[in-house]
Amino acid sequence: MQIGDFAAVVTGGASGLGGATARALAAAGASVFGLDLAGSIEKSEPVERVTLVEADVTEEDQVRAAVEQAATAAPLRIVVNCAGIATAGRILSKTGPHDLALFRSVIDVNLVGTFNVLRLGAEAMARTEPLDEGQRGVVINTASIAAFDGQVGQVAYAASKGGVVALTLSAARDLASYGIRVCTIAPGIIDTPMLAGVNDEFRATLAAGVPFPRRLGLPEEYAKLALMVIDHDYLNGEVIRMDGSLRMAPR
């Protein structure tokens, strides 16, 4: 599907993977609606053809309103789920068992939030006129290589991203009759605001563990892959690792 005069919804659209994807889609001609929290939007710079909308991906009413805003501007054909949070915590530590509320919050944002945007975005796409071969749009979700190689202390994050991986094929099959594709990108270590607090020495250590290229990934590389998935109509129900062939060690 060619990116043209269509609307696109990108969650986490004010920075990181979502910000890079929003900019790339806008440069390709889409009318982009970037969903994010108020604090992230306030720190962002304006981008032509990108409208930032305050919305919590876990809140049905907020997401529905943002999706309808996008669908009113132009036919909604593209949804990219980039919003997510990462926490660290072992199941058992010196302070006791893993905090249950923290586990729930990670699942709620990363998995339930992804599903919430997926289902409401698909509902709006299903109302559009089909293009060639009956396609109406594509949803791209974001997992992580932690879904496959969860490290010590990543139990909540790995579980949330594993859920995103697991729903991909089922979602693609559910939505096939509507002409809506669903794919997932599973990035490795990407240089996003999540790494903002990491010092240069540890950053170099992370980069050295990547077989090739021996560096951190870039948000723009995620965006480039997302645009390729949108363009490639025969990619459906697939999870694509983007990690420089990195396989995470236990710790």
pLDDT reading at 212 higher than 80: yes
Predicted pLDDT at 203:
85
Predicted pLDDT at 133:
92
Structure tokens at 17: 């993977």
Q: In the chain, what's the furthest Cα-to-Cα distance?
A: 59
Predicted pLDDT at 4:
84
Q: pLDDT tens digits, residue range 130-139?
A: 999 999 999 9
- What phi, psi does 127 have (nearest 5°)? -85, -10
Question: Do 74 and 128 touch, CB atoms closer than 8 A?
Answer: no
Active site positions, annotated: 157
Question: Average pLDDT for residues 172-185, to the nearest whole number?
Answer: 98
Question: Do 35 and 10 touch, CB atoms closer than 8 A?
Answer: yes
Domains and CATH numbers, the chain: 7-241 (3.40.50.720)
Q: How confident is the model at residue 42 (pLDDT cuts 50, 70, 90)?
A: very high
pLDDT reading at 201 higher than 90: no
> How much is the pTM?
0.95
Taking the C-alpha atoms of residue 191 and residue 200, their distance in angstroms, rounded to an integer, is 12
- What phi, psi does 139 have (nearest 5°)? -115, 130
What share of the chain has pLDDT > 90, as a percent? 91
Question: Average pLDDT for residues 167-187, to the nearest whole number?
Answer: 98
Predicted pLDDT at 120:
98
Characterise 131 by phi-psi region: left (phi > 0), alpha (psi -120 to 50), beta (else).
Answer: beta
pLDDT reading at 210 higher than 90: yes
Question: Average pLDDT for residues 98-104, to the nearest whole number?
Answer: 97
